[in-house]
Amino acid sequence: MTRTKFHQGLDELKQKLLTMGGMAEQAVQRAVNAYRTRDLKLCQLVLESEQAINLHEREIDELARDLLAMQQPMAIDLRFILAVIKINADLERVGDQAVNIVQRVMHMNGLPVAELPADIPGMAAAASAMVREALEAFIAGNAELAQKVLTTDDEVDRMNRETFVSMESVMASNPEVLHQALDVLLIARNLERIADHATNIAEDVIFWVRGADVRHRIHTISK
């Protein structure tokens, strides 16, 4: 494999990871739209997308492995490929969380609609934005943007805690909507988990960028 082919492979890896990010984000958006509209067809789409996401994860892993096997990568490329492998696993789990959300939505569908004091779409928007920004930070090698994702995580954690407390109180005071409130509480936890995956990605980005910096500093010193 020539150096050029290797770099084409790295570009392909980057593109595939972005596609994976898009698939995971779409799954989350569909899951939350399914929650808002109670559209079972959307639930079905999310369930079906799980396998496509899993396949795509394996493809990325295989390509990453082939790149590592076919050419001794330079330290910076090695770090990049290893970051892709970790981020890939997180994106796959974002897809899993979307599946968990639609399972709750399907459960809710058998129950009367209840107006509950919880901003699930707001939490979902924040968590999705974190996933998108963490990926953007990775592609741009931008540790500051990754740092911003970590800050937003505190916000999503706060929203999750608030939802927890208010749903617990609804369950205690309005037992007739206990099941619906429990579903909302669990969906909020799934969204908080998605934010955690975005946080993992952002931490990998910071580790990756800083590692590159450290490497760079050593080079400078040794000159």
| Cα separation, 77 vs 120, whole angstroms | 39
| 190, burial (CB in 10 Å: exposed 0-12, middle 13-18, buried 19+) | buried
Our CB check for a second copy shows the closer of 117 and 175 to be 175
The residue among 39 and 61 lying less far from a second copy, judged by its C-beta, is: 61
Rounded to a whole number of angstroms, the minimum distance from the CB of residue 41 to a second copy is 25
Q: How far is the CB of 210 from a second copy (least distance, A)?
A: 12
CB of 73 to a second copy, least distance (A): 8
Positions touching a second copy (CB under 8 A) are 58, 61, 64-65, 68-69, 72-73, 75, 78-79, 82, 85-86, 89, 168, 171-172, 175, 178-179, 182, 185, 207
Nearer to a second copy, 4 or 72 (CB): 72
> Collapsing DSSP states into helix, strand and coil, what is residue 73?
coil
- Which residue, 33 or 97, is less far from a second copy as judged by CB? 97
Distance CA 180, CA 175 (A): 10
Residue with Cβ nearer a second copy (62 or 121):
62
Instruction: Compute the Cα dihedral for 96, 102, 106, 108 and give only its sign.
Output: positive
- Least Å distance, CB 212 to a second copy, is 12
Please report how close the Cβ of residue 153 comes to a second copy at its closest, in angstroms: 14
Q: Return the half-sphere exposure (C-beta side, CA atoms, 13 A cut-off) of residue 190.
A: 28
Q: Write a three-state SS string for 198-222.
A: HHHHHHHHHHHHHHHHHHHHHHHHH
- What does the alpha-carbon distance between residue 195 and residue 157 come to, in Å, rounded to a whole number? 8
